[in-house]
A and B are shown apart, each in its own frame.
Chain A
C-alpha cells in the first residue's frame, strides 16, 4: 500500500497552518498524501463504493437533465422571440378575440412613436386526415399566386406530400380547395414552421371567407422599444376594445411557464434526493469491521481525529466530484445530442405536429451552482456526522472489535 507508507513520512506535522511559505508547502503535501491514501482506500472497497457512486451519478444526471433541457428551451424561445413584432394589437369582442377592422390600422398609424403598422391574416385549420391543427398565414412578401402554398417540413412529412403536389383543404362553404405546394419551408426554422402553411391573400379569402376589410390582428413596429409600454397605454385609450400584447409579456409568460414546469419536476425529484441521502447516511454510518479496524490502526500509529475527519471529507469530495462531473457530462450529451428523450414530454409540451429541433449546447454558471446546492451539499450534510462518529472512535476499542 504505497499511499500509507508515504503518508507516514509526514505525519509529524500536526497543524494545518501556513503563515509562511514553508508551512504552506507542508500543508499542501499533507493534503496530497491524504488524497493518495483516501484513493487507495476507496479502491480497496471497489464494489461497495461503486454502488454509491452509480446512484450518486444517476441523481446528478437526472437533476442536470432537467436543468439543461429547460434552460435550452427557454433560450430557444427567447431567440425566436427576438424577431417577433414588438407589439401586437388584437380586437376584443365580449372578451374574446375578434376580427380587426381595416380602419383601425389608420388610427394605429396616427399614434406617435409607431413607425409601421401591418394587418395580418392568419387562422387555424383542422385537418381530419392527420388529426392536427395547421397554422395558416398570409405571406404577402412571398409573392404567392392564388393557388400556390408553402408548407412546413413536419407538415409535409406527416401528410406525405412534396413540392408540386396538391393539398386539398375544405373551404368554409364546404367546397374542396386544391392548393399547389410550390416550396417547403426551411427545416432550420422548424420550431416555428412545423405546422405552418403559407398562402396568398386571395386563397385565404376563398378558404375562410372572412368579412371584407378585416384582419386577424395588427403588428406594430415601434421606433424606440423602450416606449412600447407607453404606446400600448395610448392604444388602449384610443381603441378601448383593443388588446395590445407586448413581446416582453409573451417572453415573460414563456419564462414563467418553463420555470414552473422545471420547478415542479425538480420538486418531484426531491423524493429521490431524500432516498439518496438516506442511502448515503446509511453507507457512511455502517462502517464494516474492516474499516473500523483500519481507523483504529491509523489512530494507533499517530493519526489525529482531525486527520481521520479530513480523510473522510476528502473521500466525500472525491466521490462527489466524480459523480458530479460524470452525471453532468452524461446529461449534457443526453440533452444536446441524444434528443433529450427523458424529460422532453414534461418540459417541452406535446402536440401532433411537434417540431424536431436540436438545442444549442451551453453551460451556465447559475445552473452549476443550483446543481451543486441540490446534490453535493446535502450529500456532505448526510455524511458529516457519520464521518465524525467514525473519526472519534477509540483505537483500542475498535481494534478489539
Chain B
C-alpha cells in the first residue's frame, strides 16, 4: 500500500462522510417511524430540532464529496509516475478493478447530496415540512452508497503496488506493466458530434417546454442526465482530442492539468452544476401540487431550469470554442 498525504486525506474524508451519514441515518430511521407534524409531543419537537443538524451534515457531505472528487482525480494523476505504463490518471485508475467504480460512486454521491439539499431547500419553505419523509428515505438510500465508497476506495488504495527499484544491487529491470492505460474506447467522431449537438437541441426544447408545462419535469431530468452522460462520452471521444491536438489522446483527466490552462475545470464545473439542477427540477416537479408549496414552486422550478440551461449553455459554448480553436482536423 502507498502512504501519501493525498491518500491519507482521502481516507479521512471518506471516514468523515460515512460517519456523518451514519449519524444522520440513525436519526432518519427514528424520524420515518415517529414523525407527526400535528403532534406537540416532546419527541416531535426533538425531531424537528434534529432536522437542522441533518441538513447541515448533508451540506457538509456535499462539500466533502466535491473536495474528495477533485482530490481523487488529482492524486491519481500525480501517482502516474509511480506505475509502469500509466501515463496519466486513466492509467492509475485502471490499475485495479476498484479505481473507476470508486470514481463513479463519488460522482453519484455528489449528485445525490446535491439533490437532497435541493429537496431540503424546498421542504423548509413549506410550513408543514411536506417532503420530510421523502427526504429521509433518500437519506437512507445515500448512506449505504457512502459506506460502499469507503470500502471500494480502501480496496483500491490497498491494491496499489508501485514498481520501484527496491535496492541498488538486487532488483532487475522491472517488467512491462500489464493492462494499464487501457484507453477508453473511442466513438467515431461524426456520430459522436451529432449526438452531442443533438442533445443540446433536445435539452433546449425540453427546457422551454418545462417553462410552459411544469408537468414535463421528469422528461427534463431524464434529458439532463442523458446529456451529462453524452457530454462525458463526447469529452472522451473527440473533445479531448481537439484540446490536446492529438488524435490518440482520449484522457478526460488531463484537461485538468496546467498544461491545458485548467480548461477542464471550466468544462466540468458548469456541467456538474447544470446536471444537478436539471435532475433537481425533475425530482421537484411533482411537488407543485402540494398545497403548502404551491406558492414557491413555480419560482423554484424556473430557477432550477434556468441554472441547468445556463450551465449546459456555458459548457456547450466553451466546448464549441475549443473545437473551433483547435488545429486538429478530425472531419474533413
A interface, how many residues as a size bin?
A: 35 or more
A236–B121 Cα gap in the complex (Å)? 66
CB distance from B306 to the nearest CB of A (A): 9
**In chain A between 57 and 110, which residues have their CB closer than 8 angstroms to a CB of chain B?**
66-67, 92, 95-97
A394–B8 Cα gap in the complex (Å)? 40
Task: Please give, as numbers and ranges, the residues of chain B lying within 8 Å of A313 by CB-CB distance.
Answer: 56
CB distance from A377 to the nearest CB of B (A): 6
Proximity string of chain A (11-28) to chain B, C-beta cutoff 8 Å, 1 when within and 0 when not: 000011111100000000
Does residue B10 face the partner (Cβ distance < 8 Å to A)? yes
Proximity string of chain B (4-42) to chain A, C-beta cutoff 8 Å, 1 when within and 0 when not: 111111101100100110000000000000000000000
A19–B300 Cα gap in the complex (Å)? 6
Q: Is the CB of A366 within 8 A of B78?
A: yes
A245–B125 Cα gap in the complex (Å)? 67
Given contacts A15-B124, A366-B75, A369-B74, contact A229 B176 (CB under 8 A): yes
Q: Is the CB of A263 within 8 A of B173?
A: no
Q: Is the CB of A95 within 8 A of B6?
A: no
A262–B9 Cα gap in the complex (Å)? 13
Does residue B71 face the partner (Cβ distance < 8 Å to A)? yes
Q: Which of the segments A180-188, A250-258, A283-291 contacts the partner chain?
A: A250-258
Task: Please give, as numbers and ranges, the residues of chain A lying within 8 Å of B170 by CB-CB distance.
Answer: 95
Does residue B178 face the partner (Cβ distance < 8 Å to A)? no
A264–B2 Cα gap in the complex (Å)? 11
CB distance from A15 to the nearest CB of B (A): 6
Task: Please give, as numbers and ranges, the residues of chain B lying within 8 Å of A252 by CB-CB distance.
Answer: 81-82, 162-165
Per DSSP, chain B at the interface is helix
A313–B55 Cα gap in the complex (Å)? 13
Task: Please give, as numbers and ranges, the residues of chain A lying within 8 Å of B165 by CB-CB distance.
Answer: 245, 249-250, 252-253
Q: Which of the segments A127-135, A145-153, A170-178, A378-386 contacts the partner chain?
A: A378-386
Does residue B296 face the partner (Cβ distance < 8 Å to A)? yes
Task: Please give, as numbers and ranges, the residues of chain B lying within 8 Å of A221 by CB-CB distance.
Answer: none
Measured CB to CB, the nearest residue on chain B to A388 is B53
Per DSSP, chain A at the interface is helix
CB distance from B106 to the nearest CB of A (A): 14
**In chain A between 360 and 391, which residues have their CB closer than 8 angstroms to a CB of chain B?**
365-366, 369-370, 372-374, 377-378, 380-381, 384-385, 388, 391
Measured CB to CB, the nearest residue on chain A to B70 is A369
Task: Please give, as numbers and ranges, the residues of chain A lying within 8 Å of B56 by CB-CB distance.
Answer: 309, 313, 384, 388
Q: Is the CB of A266 within 8 A of B5?
A: yes
Measured CB to CB, the nearest residue on chain B to A67 is B5
Proximity string of chain A (297-309) to chain B, C-beta cutoff 8 Å, 1 when within and 0 when not: 0000000011001
Measured CB to CB, the nearest residue on chain B to A251 is B81
Task: Please give, as numbers and ranges, the residues of chain B lying within 8 Å of A346 by CB-CB distance.
Answer: none
Task: Please give, as numbers and ranges, the residues of chain A lying within 8 Å of B322 by CB-CB distance.
Answer: none
- Residue picked from B7, B64, B173, most chain A C-beta under 10 Å: B173
Task: Please give, as numbers and ranges, the residues of chain A lying within 8 Å of B124 by CB-CB distance.
Answer: 15
Measured CB to CB, the nearest residue on chain B to A382 is B16
**Residue among A256, A306, A309 making CB contact with B164, cutoff 8 Å:** A256
A373–B71 Cα gap in the complex (Å)? 9
Q: Is the CB of B52 within 8 A of A253?
A: no
Does residue B191 face the partner (Cβ distance < 8 Å to A)? no
CB distance from A23 to the nearest CB of B (A): 9
Q: Is the CB of B16 within 8 A of A370?
A: no
CB distance from A232 to the nearest CB of B (A): 6
Task: Please give, as numbers and ranges, the residues of chain B lying within 8 Å of A251 by CB-CB distance.
Answer: 81
A377–B8 Cα gap in the complex (Å)? 13
Does residue B3 face the partner (Cβ distance < 8 Å to A)? yes
Task: Please give, as numbers and ranges, the residues of chain A lying within 8 Å of B176 by CB-CB distance.
Answer: 229
Does residue B49 face the partner (Cβ distance < 8 Å to A)? yes
Does residue B60 face the partner (Cβ distance < 8 Å to A)? yes
CB distance from A70 to the nearest CB of B (A): 8
Does residue B137 face the partner (Cβ distance < 8 Å to A)? no
Q: Is the CB of A17 within 8 A of B125?
A: yes
Number of residues from B at the complex interface, CB < 8 A: 49
Does residue A244 face the partner (Cβ distance < 8 Å to B)? yes
Task: Please give, as numbers and ranges, the residues of chain B lying within 8 Å of A388 by CB-CB distance.
Answer: 52-53, 56
CB distance from B149 to the nearest CB of A (A): 15
Proximity string of chain B (40-76) to chain A, C-beta cutoff 8 Å, 1 when within and 0 when not: 0000000001001100110010001001101100110
Task: Please give, as numbers and ranges, the residues of chain B lying within 8 Å of A365 by CB-CB distance.
Answer: 74
Q: Is the CB of A378 within 8 A of B52?
A: no
Measured CB to CB, the nearest residue on chain A to B85 is A229
Given contacts A15-B125, A252-B163, contact A306 B8 (CB under 8 A): no
Does residue A205 face the partner (Cβ distance < 8 Å to B)? no
Task: Please give, as numbers and ranges, the residues of chain B lying within 8 Å of A92 by CB-CB distance.
Answer: 169
Q: Is the CB of A366 within 8 A of B125?
A: no
Does residue A158 face the partner (Cβ distance < 8 Å to B)? no
Does residue A243 face the partner (Cβ distance < 8 Å to B)? yes
**Residue among B19, B49, B299 making CB contact with A20, cutoff 8 Å:** B299
Does residue B302 face the partner (Cβ distance < 8 Å to A)? yes
Proximity string of chain A (252-296) to chain B, C-beta cutoff 8 Å, 1 when within and 0 when not: 110110011011101100100000000000000000000000000
Q: Is the CB of A259 within 8 A of B52?
A: no
A248–B164 Cα gap in the complex (Å)? 10
A80–B300 Cα gap in the complex (Å)? 57
Q: Is the CB of A370 within 8 A of B164?
A: no
Task: Please give, as numbers and ranges, the residues of chain A lying within 8 Å of B260 by CB-CB distance.
Answer: none
Q: Is the CB of B163 within 8 A of A309?
A: no
CB distance from A251 to the nearest CB of B (A): 6
CB distance from A32 to the nearest CB of B (A): 20
Does residue A392 face the partner (Cβ distance < 8 Å to B)? yes
Q: Is the CB of B57 within 8 A of A384?
A: yes
Task: Please give, as numbers and ranges, the residues of chain A lying within 8 Å of B81 by CB-CB distance.
Answer: 248, 251-252, 255
Taking Cβ atoms with an 8 Å cutoff, the residues of A that contact B are 15-20, 66-67, 92, 95-97, 229, 232-233, 236, 243-246, 248-253, 255-256, 259-260, 262-264, 266-267, 270, 305-306, 309, 313, 365-366, 369-370, 372-374, 377-378, 380-381, 384-385, 388, 391-392
Taking Cβ atoms with an 8 Å cutoff, the residues of B that contact A are 2-10, 12-13, 16, 19-20, 49, 52-53, 56-57, 60, 64, 67-68, 70-71, 74-75, 78, 81-82, 121, 124-125, 162-165, 168-170, 172-174, 176, 296, 299-300, 302-303
Of the A-B pairs whose beta carbons lie under 8 Å apart in the complex, a sample of 27, sorted by A's number, is A15-B125, A17-B300, A95-B169, A232-B173, A252-B82, A252-B162, A256-B164, A263-B4, A266-B8, A267-B8, A270-B8, A305-B49, A306-B52, A313-B56, A366-B74, A369-B6, A369-B9, A369-B71, A370-B6, A372-B67, A373-B13, A373-B68, A374-B5, A378-B12, A381-B16, A381-B20, A388-B56
